[in-house]
Amino acid sequence: MSKRRYVARGVPGGYRIRDNKVRRWWGDLYELCPDDLLAELNGGADSGRITALLKRYRALKR
């Protein structure tokens, strides 16, 4: 199994996605762990599906 590029890290207030390749945070702060978003980023990386998941998680913050 290869090393995953994107991983969720617990931070005060929720979760952030860490990009291990460039060693920086990716995206927003999420209250719930974005498991399906991580699976898509590490898997097929379909841009349409990623966009839909980002919209869904941003809506959960409101």
Domain boundaries, the chain: 6-61
pLDDT interval class at 40 (50, 70, 90) = very high
Tell me what the mean pLDDT of segment 49-54 comes to. Answer: 94
Number of other CB atoms surrounding residue 53 within 10 Å: 18
**Full-model pTM:** 0.84
Report whether 4 contacts 20 (CB < 8 A): yes
Among 29, 27, 37, 24, smallest CA distance to 11 is for 29
Q: How far apart are the first and last CA of the chain?
A: 37
Q: For position 19, what pLDDT does the model report?
A: 95
